[in-house]
Structure 1
Amino acid sequence: MEYRPIADDYAVSGQITAEDVQAIKEAGFRSIICNRPDDEQPGQPTAQEIAVAAAAADLIFRHIPFTSGQMTDEDVRKMVEALDEIPGPVFAFCRSGARSTNIYAAAKQVKEG
C-alpha cells in the first residue's frame, strides 16, 4: 500500500482493504476517511468492511462518499466537520487518491475563509 502526504497531518491513497488498516495504524495515522461510494467498482471493499477493521485497530473512521467530479458543498461541509472532529494524522482514500486530495483542498479553503 502506497500513500502520498498532502499535509503534515493528512495523506491520501487509492483503494485500501481491511488488511491494510493495521499498516495504516502502524504508520502513525489515527483516523481514516473514505471518499469513495460503495459499489463504485465491482469487488471493492465496502466502507463498512473498512470501518470494522478501523474500529478493531482503534482508529476513527468516517465515510464521506462522492462521485468523482461531482463534489458538492455538502460534501465539503462534511469534510470540514470531520477534520475538526477526528484526531490526526488522517489517512484518506478513494479510487486513486485524487478525490481525497481535492476535497481536502476545498475543506482547507472553507476553513481559511
Structure 2
Amino acid sequence: MDFNVINDQLTVSGQILPQEVSTLAERGFKTLICNRPDEEVEEALQSTALEAAAKAAGLNFRYLPIYPGQFTEEMADEMRTVMTELDGPFYAYCRSGTRSCTLWALSQAGILDAQDIIAQAAAGGYDLSGMAAYLAGR
C-alpha cells in the first residue's frame, strides 16, 4: 500500500486490498474514494468489497469511477462535493493513483492557483505540468 501524499487532506495510491482498509482508519483517514472502475478488477477488489471494508473500519466511502482519459467537469464537481461534504483526510485510489490525483486537480481548478495544484501533485509524485493551461483556465 502506497501513501502518495498530495496535501494534508488527500493521499492517493494504486489499488488497495480490502484487508488494508483498516490501516487507513488507524492512520486517521476518514473517507475512502474509489476511482477505479469495477470492470478493471476482479470481484474481490471491486467497489462493493472495498465499501464493506471501509464501513467495517468506520470510514466513509465513495465510488467515483474514472475510465482512462474520460474526465468530465461533472466528475470534477462530484469530487469537489465529496471533499467538501465528507470528513477528511481522504484516501483515493485507482490503478496507479494518477487518475485519482488528476481528478482532484480538476476539482481544484478555479479554487487553487494552477501552479499550487501542480506543486502539490508533484509532492505526491505526479507530474501534472502538462495540464497547467487547462487548470489555469477552468
TM-score, normalised relative to structure 2: 0.77
Once the two structures are superposed, residues 37-57 of structure 1 have per-residue CA deviations (whole angstroms, 9 ceiling, x without a partner) of 102144660101000110111
Q: Aligned runs of 1:30-49 on 2, under 5 Å?
A: 30-42=30-42, 45-49=45-49
Give the C-alpha shift of residue 12 in structure 1: 0.2
Pair 1:104-2:98 in alignment: no
Q: Tell me the secondary structure at the aligned position of residue 70 of structure 1.
A: coil
Counterpart of 2:26?
Answer: 26
Instruction: State how 1:80-91 maps to structure 2 within 5 Å.
Output: 80-91=80-91
Aligned partner of 2:9 in structure 1 is 9
Q: CA deviation at 1:28?
A: 1.2
* Alignment RMSD (CA, Å): 1.5
| Whole-angstrom distance in 1 between the partners of 2:44 and 2:70 | 20
Consecutive unaligned residues of structure 1, counting only runs of 5 or more, are none
| Structure 1 letter corresponding to 2:57 | A
Q: Compare the two structures and name the one with the higher helix fraction.
A: 2
> 1:54-102 deviations in whole A, cap 9, x for unaligned?
0111100001101011111111111111011110100000000000000
Structure with higher RCO (Cα < 8 A, 6+ apart): 1
> Who wins on radius of gyration, i.e. which is larger?
2
Of all paired residues, the percent bearing the same amino acid is 38
Could you tell me the TM-score, scaled by structure 1's length? 0.93
Which secondary structure does the structure 1 equivalent of 2:28 belong to? coil
The code of the aligned residue for 2:18 comes to: A
Residues 80, 111 of structure 1: 8 Å contact kept: no
Q: Distance in 2 between matches of 1:51 and 1:61?
A: 6
One-letter amino acid of the structure 1 residue matched with residue 14 of structure 2 = G
